Chains A and B, each alone.
Chain A
Amino acid sequence: TQLLEQSPQFLSIQEGENLTVYCNSSSVFSSLQWYRQEPGEGPVLLVTVVTGGEVKKLKRLTFQFGDARKDSSLHITAAQPGDTGLYLCAGGENAGNMLTFGGGTRLMVKP
Protein backbone atom coordinates (compact mmCIF):
# COMPACT_ATOMS: atom_id res chain seq x y z
CA THR A 1 0.00 0.00 0.00
CA GLN A 2 1.31 3.43 -0.98
CA LEU A 3 1.24 5.89 1.92
CA LEU A 4 0.38 9.57 1.77
CA GLU A 5 1.36 11.91 4.59
CA GLN A 6 -0.37 15.24 5.01
CA SER A 7 0.92 18.22 6.95
CA PRO A 8 0.01 19.98 9.04
CA GLN A 9 -2.61 17.78 10.68
CA PHE A 10 -4.36 20.79 12.19
CA LEU A 11 -4.38 24.44 11.20
CA SER A 12 -6.26 27.29 12.84
CA ILE A 13 -5.97 30.71 11.20
CA GLN A 14 -7.73 34.05 11.02
CA GLU A 15 -9.92 35.07 8.12
CA GLY A 16 -7.85 36.71 5.37
CA GLU A 17 -4.64 34.76 6.01
CA ASN A 18 -2.95 32.53 3.43
CA LEU A 19 -2.05 28.88 4.04
CA THR A 20 -0.45 25.88 2.37
CA VAL A 21 -1.23 22.23 3.00
CA TYR A 22 1.19 19.50 1.93
CA CYS A 23 0.74 15.93 0.76
CA ASN A 24 3.87 13.79 0.50
CA SER A 25 4.75 10.24 -0.46
CA SER A 26 7.80 8.17 -1.34
CA SER A 27 5.75 6.53 -4.11
CA VAL A 28 4.83 7.76 -7.57
CA PHE A 29 1.14 8.25 -8.32
CA SER A 30 -0.59 8.28 -11.71
CA SER A 31 -2.90 10.99 -10.46
CA LEU A 32 -3.65 12.91 -7.31
CA GLN A 33 -6.98 14.22 -6.13
CA TRP A 34 -7.88 16.73 -3.43
CA TYR A 35 -11.15 16.40 -1.52
CA ARG A 36 -12.84 18.53 1.12
CA GLN A 37 -15.00 16.97 3.81
CA GLU A 38 -17.41 18.65 6.22
CA PRO A 39 -18.70 17.04 9.43
CA GLY A 40 -21.35 14.38 8.83
CA GLU A 41 -20.78 14.32 5.09
CA GLY A 42 -18.67 12.41 2.62
CA PRO A 43 -15.62 13.95 0.92
CA VAL A 44 -16.26 16.09 -2.17
CA LEU A 45 -13.76 16.34 -5.01
CA LEU A 46 -12.02 19.69 -5.49
CA VAL A 47 -9.49 18.88 -8.22
CA THR A 48 -7.56 16.13 -10.01
CA VAL A 49 -3.97 16.60 -11.18
CA VAL A 50 -2.29 14.07 -13.44
CA THR A 51 0.85 15.61 -14.95
CA GLY A 52 4.09 16.19 -13.04
CA GLY A 53 4.53 19.91 -12.40
CA GLU A 54 0.88 20.63 -13.13
CA VAL A 55 -0.71 23.65 -11.45
CA LYS A 56 -4.48 24.13 -11.26
CA LYS A 57 -6.37 27.09 -9.85
CA LEU A 58 -9.88 27.00 -8.47
CA LYS A 59 -10.81 30.55 -7.41
CA ARG A 60 -8.68 31.17 -4.27
CA LEU A 61 -7.30 27.61 -4.24
CA THR A 62 -4.09 26.67 -6.08
CA PHE A 63 -3.11 23.01 -6.45
CA GLN A 64 0.30 21.78 -7.54
CA PHE A 65 1.50 18.29 -8.43
CA GLY A 66 5.21 17.71 -7.89
CA ASP A 67 7.49 17.12 -10.89
CA ALA A 68 8.12 13.53 -9.80
CA ARG A 69 4.40 12.93 -9.08
CA LYS A 70 5.17 12.01 -5.47
CA ASP A 71 3.85 15.09 -3.70
CA SER A 72 1.29 17.84 -3.96
CA SER A 73 0.34 21.08 -2.29
CA LEU A 74 -2.81 23.10 -1.80
CA HIS A 75 -2.50 26.84 -1.27
CA ILE A 76 -5.46 28.94 -0.15
CA THR A 77 -5.31 32.70 -0.52
CA ALA A 78 -7.29 35.00 1.78
CA ALA A 79 -8.97 32.17 3.67
CA GLN A 80 -12.63 32.54 4.62
CA PRO A 81 -14.67 30.82 7.37
CA GLY A 82 -16.42 28.85 4.64
CA ASP A 83 -13.09 27.16 3.85
CA THR A 84 -13.23 25.38 7.22
CA GLY A 85 -13.16 21.60 6.84
CA LEU A 86 -11.03 18.49 6.46
CA TYR A 87 -8.81 18.57 3.36
CA LEU A 88 -7.82 15.16 2.02
CA CYS A 89 -5.39 14.21 -0.71
CA ALA A 90 -5.81 10.89 -2.49
CA GLY A 91 -3.34 9.18 -4.78
CA GLY A 92 -4.24 6.94 -7.67
CA GLU A 93 -1.97 3.97 -8.33
CA ASN A 94 -0.41 3.31 -11.72
CA ALA A 95 -2.53 0.24 -12.31
CA GLY A 96 -6.17 0.03 -11.42
CA ASN A 97 -8.62 2.44 -9.95
CA MET A 98 -7.93 2.30 -6.23
CA LEU A 99 -7.39 5.59 -4.38
CA THR A 100 -5.26 5.85 -1.24
CA PHE A 101 -6.13 8.74 1.07
CA GLY A 102 -3.86 10.75 3.30
CA GLY A 103 -4.67 11.39 6.95
CA GLY A 104 -6.12 14.82 6.20
CA THR A 105 -5.53 18.40 7.32
CA ARG A 106 -8.22 19.86 9.53
CA LEU A 107 -8.53 23.59 8.78
CA MET A 108 -10.38 26.09 10.91
CA VAL A 109 -10.74 29.67 9.70
CA LYS A 110 -11.88 32.07 12.41
CA PRO A 111 -13.85 35.19 11.47
Chain B
Amino acid sequence: GAGVSQTPSNKVTEKGKYVELRCDPISGHTALYWYRQSLGQGPEFLIYFQGTGAADDSGLPNDRFFAVRPEGSVSTLKIQRTERGDSAVYLCASSLTRDRVRAGELFFGEGSRLTVL
Protein backbone atom coordinates (compact mmCIF):
# COMPACT_ATOMS: atom_id res chain seq x y z
CA GLY B 1 0.00 0.00 0.00
CA ALA B 2 0.91 3.66 -0.15
CA GLY B 3 1.45 4.05 3.56
CA VAL B 4 1.63 2.18 6.85
CA SER B 5 -1.71 0.54 7.61
CA GLN B 6 -2.84 -0.36 11.12
CA THR B 7 -5.87 -2.37 12.15
CA PRO B 8 -8.12 -2.07 13.99
CA SER B 9 -8.26 1.72 14.21
CA ASN B 10 -10.21 1.40 17.46
CA LYS B 11 -10.47 -1.48 19.90
CA VAL B 12 -12.51 -1.55 23.08
CA THR B 13 -12.00 -4.54 25.33
CA GLU B 14 -12.56 -5.65 28.88
CA LYS B 15 -9.89 -6.00 31.51
CA GLY B 16 -8.24 -9.42 31.33
CA LYS B 17 -8.93 -10.02 27.63
CA TYR B 18 -6.37 -10.78 24.90
CA VAL B 19 -5.80 -8.24 22.10
CA GLU B 20 -3.94 -8.33 18.78
CA LEU B 21 -2.99 -5.21 16.84
CA ARG B 22 -1.80 -5.49 13.27
CA CYS B 23 0.64 -3.36 11.28
CA ASP B 24 1.20 -3.55 7.53
CA PRO B 25 4.33 -1.51 6.73
CA ILE B 26 5.32 0.21 3.51
CA SER B 27 6.43 -2.38 0.99
CA GLY B 28 10.19 -2.90 1.03
CA HIS B 29 10.77 -1.26 4.41
CA THR B 30 13.04 -3.51 6.44
CA ALA B 31 12.68 -1.76 9.79
CA LEU B 32 9.43 -1.78 11.77
CA TYR B 33 8.75 -0.04 15.07
CA TRP B 34 5.99 -0.17 17.67
CA TYR B 35 5.39 2.81 19.92
CA ARG B 36 2.70 3.55 22.51
CA GLN B 37 1.32 7.06 22.97
CA SER B 38 -0.79 8.20 25.87
CA LEU B 39 -2.96 11.31 25.63
CA GLY B 40 -0.89 14.49 25.48
CA GLN B 41 2.44 12.69 25.56
CA GLY B 42 5.15 11.70 23.11
CA PRO B 43 5.42 8.18 21.68
CA GLU B 44 7.03 5.64 24.00
CA PHE B 45 9.25 3.03 22.33
CA LEU B 46 8.15 -0.60 22.64
CA ILE B 47 10.01 -2.76 20.13
CA TYR B 48 11.95 -2.53 16.88
CA PHE B 49 12.30 -5.19 14.17
CA GLN B 50 14.97 -5.41 11.52
CA GLY B 51 13.60 -7.97 9.08
CA THR B 52 12.03 -10.87 10.98
CA GLY B 53 13.99 -10.47 14.18
CA ALA B 54 13.40 -8.17 17.13
CA ALA B 55 16.53 -6.02 17.17
CA ASP B 56 15.50 -4.19 20.35
CA ASP B 57 12.58 -5.14 22.61
CA SER B 58 13.75 -3.19 25.64
CA GLY B 59 10.63 -1.00 25.63
CA LEU B 60 8.11 -3.79 26.18
CA PRO B 61 6.72 -3.01 29.66
CA ASN B 62 6.30 -6.62 30.83
CA ASP B 63 5.80 -10.18 29.63
CA ARG B 64 2.13 -9.56 28.80
CA PHE B 65 3.35 -7.76 25.67
CA PHE B 66 4.75 -9.65 22.71
CA ALA B 67 5.26 -8.83 19.03
CA VAL B 68 6.06 -10.90 15.96
CA ARG B 69 7.01 -10.27 12.37
CA PRO B 70 7.30 -13.81 10.95
CA GLU B 71 7.88 -12.99 7.28
CA GLY B 72 9.61 -9.64 7.66
CA SER B 73 6.60 -7.63 6.58
CA VAL B 74 3.35 -7.56 8.59
CA SER B 75 3.75 -7.37 12.35
CA THR B 76 1.34 -8.19 15.15
CA LEU B 77 1.51 -6.74 18.66
CA LYS B 78 -0.09 -9.07 21.17
CA ILE B 79 -1.25 -8.05 24.63
CA GLN B 80 -2.36 -10.69 27.12
CA ARG B 81 -4.53 -10.13 30.21
CA THR B 82 -5.11 -6.48 29.33
CA GLU B 83 -5.19 -3.90 32.12
CA ARG B 84 -6.78 -0.45 32.20
CA GLY B 85 -3.29 1.08 32.14
CA ASP B 86 -2.72 -0.46 28.71
CA SER B 87 -5.21 2.02 27.22
CA ALA B 88 -3.35 4.17 24.69
CA VAL B 89 -2.80 4.69 20.99
CA TYR B 90 -0.41 2.08 19.63
CA LEU B 91 1.60 3.48 16.74
CA CYS B 92 3.46 1.46 14.15
CA ALA B 93 6.17 2.92 11.93
CA SER B 94 8.37 1.56 9.18
CA SER B 95 11.65 2.75 7.75
CA LEU B 96 13.84 2.01 4.77
CA THR B 97 17.05 1.74 6.73
CA ARG B 98 20.16 1.89 4.62
CA ASP B 99 22.41 3.38 7.29
CA ARG B 100 23.31 0.90 10.03
CA VAL B 101 24.48 3.69 12.30
CA ARG B 102 21.55 6.03 12.59
CA ALA B 103 17.79 5.86 12.22
CA GLY B 104 16.21 6.92 8.97
CA GLU B 105 12.87 8.63 8.49
CA LEU B 106 10.04 6.84 10.24
CA PHE B 107 6.72 6.61 8.41
CA PHE B 108 3.90 6.21 10.89
CA GLY B 109 0.47 4.69 10.59
CA GLU B 110 -2.57 6.39 12.10
CA GLY B 111 -2.44 4.15 15.13
CA SER B 112 -4.74 1.71 16.88
CA ARG B 113 -6.60 3.26 19.81
CA LEU B 114 -6.97 0.65 22.56
CA THR B 115 -9.42 1.21 25.39
CA VAL B 116 -9.50 -1.28 28.24
CA LEU B 117 -12.63 -1.00 30.38
Contact = CB atoms under 8 A, between A and B. Distances in A.
B110 to A, nearest CB: 6
Interface residues of A, number: 29
A88 B43 contact: yes
A104 B107 CA distance: 18
Interface in B40-77: 40-45, 48, 50, 55-56, 58-59
B106 interface: yes
Contacts, number: 77
A111 to B, nearest CB: 23
B26 to A, nearest CB: 12
Interface in B72-105: 91, 93, 95, 97, 100-105
Contacts of B103: 31, 33, 90, 92, 97-99
Given A97-B97, A100-B45, A101-B43, A40 B110 contact: yes
A43 B33 CA distance: 13
Contacts of A13: none
Interface stretch (A44-52, A55-63, A72-80): A44-52
Given A31-B103, A101-B35, A96 B56 contact: yes
Contacts of B95: 97
Q: Which secondary structure characterizes the binding site on chain B?
A: loop
Interface in A14-55: 30-31, 33, 35, 40-45, 48, 50
A106 B40 contact: yes
A35 B101 CA distance: 20
A42 B4 contact: yes
Interface of A: 1, 6, 30-31, 33, 35, 40-45, 48, 50, 88, 90, 92, 94-104, 106
7 contacts: A31-B103, A41-B108, A42-B91, A42-B108, A45-B106, A92-B102, A97-B103
